[in-house]
Chain A
Amino acid sequence: GAGVSQSPSNKVTEKGKDVELRCDPISGHTALYWYRQRLGQGLEFLIYFQGNSAPDKSGLPSDRFSAERTGESVSTLTIQRTQQEDSAVYLCASSSRTGKRHEQYFGPGTRLTVT
């Protein structure tokens, strides 16, 4: 079936504006993760969803960042009052609770540029 999809693929925004990033996980995958990849750095964990609850939000860098998930489906990551240091590629991944539960399937990412 279809893989993880993310939209938009690219987003350029002015400092201070709010942005919303979307992730559609693989159908049936109950676990969903958001990561951030800043230029020249590894991936930083942001938040984990199991179903529509978020048992681990420890990676969210500030209260400007929030995320929601509808059931076991779409998730949105919202960044309020964007800053230039928010510029990065935001990656979403999903995994199945059973079987290879720790194999995460990644989307293509959203490249966010804050000017």
Chain B
Amino acid sequence: GNSVTQMEGPVTLSEEAFLTINCTYTATGYPSLFWYVQYPGEGLQLLLKATKADDKGSNKGFEATYRKETTSFHLEKGSVQVSDSAVYFCALSDPRGSTLGRLYFGRGTQLTVWP
């Protein structure tokens, strides 16, 4: 079946530090991969996505590369800011499977960035 495993938090970093949040997946088909972000008091927002192997999604300085050989989609940012403090969710959908685009989520990783 489909599932997502992501690094447990919380992650605490100083401003300008390098960020990696690991995400690996199991899928029966050819999934699309996503990172969603939930800022304090706000709803989930799509941060970035990749729809096929070797694609790199990027947004707001964050990047993630779809690695089929390692079934991974790790989130990285070279220099975090206080405003990046949020919960990050890795997710997959299998658009050609029977699950009709539903998302499978990891448990979320809380990131706190200190000035």
- Picked from B32, B44, B91, B102, the residue with its CB within 8 Å of the CB of A91 is B44
Nearest residue (CB) in B for A46 is B102
Residue with the highest number of chain A CB atoms closer than 10 Å, among B45, B91, B102, B106: B102
Give the size range of B's interface with the partner: 20 to 34
Interface contact B43-A102, CB-CB below 8 Å:
no
Interface contact A103-B102, CB-CB below 8 Å:
no
Collect the chain A residues with CB atoms within 8 Å of residue B103's CB.
Answer: 33, 35, 43, 45, 93, 104
B104 within 8 A of A: yes
Collect the chain A residues with CB atoms within 8 Å of residue B106's CB.
Answer: 42
Interface contact B99-A103, CB-CB below 8 Å:
no
Count of residues in A whose CB is under 8 Å from the partner chain: 28
- Picked from A41, A56, A101, A107, the residue with its CB within 8 Å of the CB of B102 is A56
Collect the chain A residues with CB atoms within 8 Å of residue B45's CB.
Answer: 106
Collect the chain B residues with CB atoms within 8 Å of residue A91's CB.
Answer: 43-44
**Extra inter-chain contacts (13) besides given A42-B106, A91-B43, A95-B101, CB under 8 Å:** A3-B43, A4-B43, A33-B103, A42-B105, A42-B108, A43-B103, A45-B103, A48-B101, A56-B100, A59-B102, A102-B93, A102-B95, A108-B42
